[in-house]
Amino acid sequence: MSVLFCILVVVGCGQKGNSVDSKYSEIQEKDFKNYLEKVDTEYAHKIALDLGEFKQNQELGYRTAGSSAEYEAGKYLEKEMKNIGLTEVSADEIRVDKWEFEKANLIFKDKSGNEVKSVLGGYQINFDTKGEKEFDIVYAGKGTKDDYENIDVTGKLVLLDINQREEWWVNYPTLQAHFKGAVAVIVAQDGGYSEVDDKALNAQDICGPDYAPVFSISKADRNVLKEAIDNGNTKVKLDAKSKVDFDQKTYNYIGKIEGKDKDNVIVYSAHYDAYFSGLQDNSMAVGLMMSIAKAMVESGYQPDKTIVFAALSAEEWGVSNTRYDWSTGAYRQINEARPEWIGNALLDINFELPAYEHETHDEIRAIYELKNYLTDFSKLVPKVDGVYKDGIEVVAPLRTWSDDFSFATSGIPALRNDFQDSEFMKTHYHTQMDDKETYNEKALKFHQNLYGLLGIYYDKTAVVPLDFSNRMEALKESINAEMNKSEGTEYKELIAESDRAISNAKEVMKKVEKLNQDYKNALVNNEPTDGILKASKELNSKLLETFKYAESNLVRLTWEDEPIFAHQNPQTNIEALSNSKGLIEKGDVTKALDEELYKVDNNWYAYSFDKDVFEYFTNYVINAEKGKLMWGAGKVVSHRDLYDLINSLQEKGDGKEYSAELEIISKSIKEEQEILKQTVAEELKSVKEINNLLESIK
């Protein structure tokens, strides 16, 4: 412990002999030391295990949006927040689509005639057999349009194999089967997810309608069932009950450590809904958050800002029949239950899967504007022997797969402990084997240290350290200059304006750093801070306004939900279309299909599914009302429909006549070129406004 605080003092001092920084480090050291002495891994672990006892499906678990299990878990957390000394504990009501998954059992005879009971996992659909009901079942491969050519599935169950990581999400083959007349689909993971064990089930958000039923079967049971089907045993019994109710209420639970400033808040967040027992995802995250709150209270820490702890519902899924059906609880908390957080919340620290060592280094994933600050802070974090031997890496930008994205897109600076590139995602994630066996106490301890100290460190920062230069650098780097030059866009002006923004951002950071240093000086010398805090509040307001503008105007999404700058979408499409045109002109249609055309928007799905399926999942993005799209509203740049082109090329194959197809591609390229010009012009306008905002600050 003493080594840690020597490190803190050295790093905090910056320049040797700076007595103010040295004395400030002593103040900081005391707060850090008091917190670290109180933080408790056992308490966090107990919270996680307790949450796993709240089940709506007695065999598998599940506590899902608006369900009885989610409600009971929430009331438990509300009581626990009060027990550990948080104040103004409240249950904030929001509206979600409610999902209760009670059971799904498949009974069939194996190839030898022995009865087998397979417990199935669920998705967010409406289906009730009202007890055991007999069906015919057929195997339809991957459930593509070609797989149904010689199969009648009307009124039957359909067994499918799926790889949701490398091929497609479950909604596509499910709706394909529904349109073919199937009663329900049963999917087995064929790689991508649930690789930990052949007995592993899988659960995901469905991103589709409630009226197309689907369930999950383990690979082990799938193999037995497939053998039975191949041997003519096609009669099965299904006993299932899954119910979706629209526009129901659920609750997010909020507790506070009140600071001197009651308006500006720092938010810690973790979602408490889960698939199966969900130890890592996300019971341990809630345990981590609660243990930080408990340690802060018990250490006697008196924050400058009010620190809020938010247990959020409906992260895994919360709205039916939309592409953006996750992070519902967070989005509606910010935009409906607590809109006052926008402009007043200075930071969201969000937790996911934190008691597992995902990599040999620990990643903090954050908005661009916090990358430099967090990189500097990471040097203060004490090591824990036996975990994260390669230290901490800060990466940006945020991704869409967790609640922090909803915070950021609403204008609240955000970060999370990262997990998405871990092998855990392929093995244990969203399976019943995300259980107590995955618990790593050292990883938890490391994150307790890291994020508890970060909250204290950030709290003592008078002005939010938002450095806009990183976002502007990323914008510049994403511009394909050669392509933009040939298309005659205003890319040079955009680069020049971005350079001006970088310069302005650095000037703003000098002002931020000076005010933060003035605040340190005042604390050390016991001088009045009222004037500094008033100035910092005004500056914070302007910085948050600038951040919200940047998020609203510069963040767009691909059709696979990856954050991009708007111009990147037409750049990708133009390149893929141009390359495919050249290949087709040479007669190499196979290569054009295999290597290029699938890159254009969501046209990967045009290869394998009927047009009505493709159009359904296109239109529910581009034609949906804003309320359905939530954090994804306005984020998709455009859509290029190549369904007929791709299917025509698939039918013709290599070495044929392609004048009609080449005409479509040429027209598409011209239209994408116009989109590129438009997006660059819009970005130029946005960066100019960011410069106006930054110049008003500096």
**Over the stretch 165-178, which tens digit does the pLDDT of each residue have?**
999 999 999 999 99
Give residue 218's pLDDT.
98
Please write the tens of the pLDDT for every residue from 45-95: 999 999 999 999 999 999 999 999 999 999 999 999 999 999 999 999 999
Beta bridge mates, 277: none
- Decide if 127 contacts 240 (C-beta within 8 A): yes
Instruction: Kindly provide the residue ranges of all beta strands, DSSP E only, lying in 218-314, ordered along the sequence.
Output: 235-257, 261-271, 305-312
Q: What is the DSSP letter of 71?
A: H
Q: Hey, how many other C-beta atoms are within 10 angstroms of the C-beta on 384?
A: 17
Instruction: Kindly provide the residue ranges of all beta strands, DSSP E only, lying in 494-608, ordered along the sequence.
Output: 556-557, 563-564
In the chain, which residues fall in CATH 3.50.30.30?
100-244
Give residue 134's pLDDT.
98
Mean pLDDT of the 494-508 span: 98
Distance (Å) of CA 170 to CA 202, 214, 619: 11, 8, 18
Cα-Cα-Cα-Cα dihedral of 229, 232, 233, 238, to 10°? 60
How does residue 18 score in pLDDT terms, banded at 50, 70 and 90?
low
Q: Could you tell me if residue 343 is left (phi over 0), alpha (psi between -120 and 50 degrees) or otherwise beta?
A: left
Mean pLDDT of the 248-276 span: 98
How does residue 28 score in pLDDT terms, banded at 50, 70 and 90?
confident
Quickly name the fold that domain 39-99+246-460 has. Answer: Aminopeptidase (3.40.630)
**What's the whole-number average pLDDT of the chain?**
96
Give residue 23's pLDDT.
76
Least confident of 16-20, 423-427, 613-617: 16-20
Mapped onto helix, strand or coil, the DSSP state of residue 261 is: strand
- Please state whether beta strands 235-257 and 133-139 pair in parallel, antiparallel, or not at all (unpaired): antiparallel
Identity of the residue numbered 407:
F
Mean pLDDT of the 246-260 span: 98
Residue 13 scores a pLDDT above 60: no
Give residue 414's pLDDT.
99
Identity of the residue numbered 184:
A
Q: What does R_g of the chain's alpha carbons equal in angstroms? A: 27
Q: Could you tell me if residue 526 is left (phi over 0), alpha (psi between -120 and 50 degrees) or otherwise beta?
A: left
Give residue 529's pLDDT.
87
Residue 327 scores a pLDDT above 70: yes
- Decide if 527 contacts 521 (C-beta within 8 A): yes
* DSSP H or E run through 116: strand 115-119
Residue in 450, 418, 124, 71 with CA at minimum distance from that of residue 272? 71
Residue 2 scores a pLDDT above 70: no
How large a percentage of the chain has pLDDT more than 70? 97
Please write the tens of the pLDDT for every residue from 121-176: 999 999 999 999 999 999 999 999 999 999 999 999 999 999 999 999 999 999 99
Q: Which two tokens stand for residue 473?
A: 């650098």
Sequence-ordered list of residues with C-beta below 8 angstroms from that of 641, at least 6 positions apart, any chain: 603, 618
Distance (Å) of CA 652 to CA 249, 606, 657: 53, 16, 9
Give residue 11's pLDDT.
37
Mapped onto helix, strand or coil, the DSSP state of residue 436 is: helix
Please write the tens of the pLDDT for every residue from 378-417: 999 999 999 999 999 999 999 999 999 999 999 999 999 9
Q: Does residue 397 have a cis bond before it (omega within 30 degrees)?
A: yes
Mapped onto helix, strand or coil, the DSSP state of residue 574 is: helix
Q: Hey, how many other C-beta atoms are within 10 angstroms of the C-beta on 414?
A: 28
Distance (Å) of CA 40 to CA 46, 74, 445, 638: 10, 22, 8, 49
Give residue 6's pLDDT.
41
Least confident of 18-27, 77-86, 99-108, 366-375: 18-27
| Residues 641, 663: Cα–Cα separation, whole Å | 14
Q: Is 112 exposed, middle or buried (0-12, 13-18, 19+ CB in 10 A)?
A: exposed
User: Distance from CA of residue 306 to its chain's centroid?
Assistant: 26
How does residue 15 score in pLDDT terms, banded at 50, 70 and 90?
very low
Mapped onto helix, strand or coil, the DSSP state of residue 376 is: helix
Identity of the residue numbered 57:
N
Residue 222 scores a pLDDT above 70: yes
Residue 320 scores a pLDDT above 60: yes
- Decide if 253 contacts 77 (C-beta within 8 A): yes
In the chain, which residues fall in CATH 3.40.630.10?
39-99+246-460
* DSSP H or E run through 374: helix 371-378
- Please state whether beta strands 214-217 and 261-271 pair in parallel, antiparallel, or not at all (unpaired): unpaired
Residue in 576, 567, 694 with CA at minimum distance from that of residue 638? 567
Identity of the residue numbered 477:
E
Mapped onto helix, strand or coil, the DSSP state of residue 41 is: helix
Q: Which has the higher per-residue pLDDT, 21 or 276?
A: 276
Work out the end-to-end distance of the chain between its first and last CA atoms, rounded to an integer number of angstroms: 40
Residue 487 scores a pLDDT above 80: yes
Give residue 16's pLDDT.
38
Signed CA dihedral, 44, 50, 55, 61: sign only? positive
Q: Hey, how many other C-beta atoms are within 10 angstroms of the C-beta on 422?
A: 17
Give residue 25's pLDDT.
81
- Could you confirm whether domain 100-244 is CATH 3.50.30.30? yes
Residue 12 scores a pLDDT above 70: no
Give residue 678's pLDDT.
98
Residue 19 scores a pLDDT above 90: no
